[in-house]
Amino acid sequence: MRNIDEHTITRAFVQRLDRCDNPRLKEVLIALVTHLHDFAREVKLTEAEWMAGIQFLTRTGQMCTGARQEFILLSDTLGLSMLTIALNHAKPPGCTEATVIGPFHTEDAPPAAQGSDIARGAPGQPLDVDVTLRSTDGTPVADADVDVWQADDDGKYDVQYAGLKERRARALLRSDAQGRVRFSTIVPTAYPVPTDGPVGQMLVATGRHPWRPAHLHFWIKAPGFEPLVTHLFRDGDPYLDSDVVFGVRNSLIVQMPENPSKPGRHLLRHDFVLNPTQ
């Protein structure tokens, strides 16, 4: 096919996939490219805008490291991440809802024993966490892997400190026979997503603030249950209604009051309900 124009190029692309032997890949790619072409036609994309897009995506890829995933941050701030989660996590009533994984999960969270202090020096007000994992019928879920990570009082994750080699305010725990996971850490605070990269430039250019309401991240994996990636948000945070990544669920907002029996320390109690996979 020669002399393809703006009206025939989408059909020409689809024809090129005639020999694609992966039906799902073909379906996804045809839908993606059809929308991409429709977008360009609708806005009459200029060549300068096209080049700005190429350069934006290039900078976004080059900002990624083992400890920073700028494309996930882009997906998060464009609402694609929460949309994908919503499409894939229709759960029975009562199950804990999922939210975004965000760009700061790492594969190397240090294992931590029940009751230990996972803050390991990260600045913040002490917080005692006591959560229980249950199935939809109330049965405790023992021996689950519970990956926890969070920002500190300065609004930073460990991996955002240049030169900090240790992991802190980040740990891998295991639920006990009663499904409990207990540890101490610090009260999370609201923080801006990183604004020193292309995503930050996009937020400034579009008049958006970069803030996320205070939260702890959890990634819970237990045999026989759907993995759960979620947060617990701190009630009263001013950014609960304008989370830059669209991640807040009312059911995930919890209290972290001062612990009456331990002055100066806060307390978080919560039950997670996991979705059995049959």
Residues 6+ apart with CB under 8 A from 51: none
DSSP letter at 216 equals: E
Query: How does 198-231 read in b/e, with b if 16+ C-beta sit within 10 Å?
Result: bbbebbeeeeeebbbbbbbbbbbebeebbebbbb
Q: Return the structure tokens found at 215.
A: 């939260």
The C-alpha atoms of residue 260 and residue 106 are separated, in whole angstroms, by 34
Taking CB under 8 A as the criterion, which residues in 19-48 touch a second copy? 19-22, 25-29, 31-33, 35-47
Q: Which two tokens stand for residue 70?
A: 């700028």
250 near a second copy (CB under 8 A): yes
Going by their DSSP bridges, the two strands 191-192 and 253-254 should be labelled as: unpaired
Stretch that binds a second copy, among 71-79, 108-116, 172-180, 182-190 (CB under 8 A): 71-79
Does the protein bind a second copy through residue 267 (CB under 8 A)? no
The residue (of 91 and 120) whose beta carbon lies closer to a second copy is 91
Q: Which of residues 46-65 bind a second copy (CB under 8 A)?
A: 46-47, 49-50, 54, 57-62, 64
Question: Of 177, 205, 260, 278, which lies in the binding site for a second copy, with binding defined by CB under 8 A?
Answer: 205
| 107 binds a second copy, rule: CB under 8 A | no
CB of residue 257 to a second copy, shortest distance in Å: 21
Rg (CA), the chain: 22
- Binding of a second copy by 12 (CB under 8 A): yes
Report the nearest approach of a second copy to the CB of residue 231 (Å): 13
230 touches a second copy by CB under 8 A = no
34 or 184, CB closer to a second copy? 34
Binding to a second copy by CB under 8 A, coded x per residue (else -) over 74-93, reads -x--xxxxxxxxxxx-----
DSSP string, 67-131: TB-HHHHHHHHTTHHHHHHHHH----TTSPPP----TT--S-PPB--TT-B-STT--S-EEEEEE
Nearer to a second copy, 54 or 113 (CB): 54
Q: How far apart are the first and last CA of the chain?
A: 51
Q: How far apart are CA 26 and CA 35, in angstroms?
A: 14
Nearer Cβ to a second copy (41/262): 41
For a second copy, the binding residue among 174, 180, 221, 249 (CB under 8 A) is 249
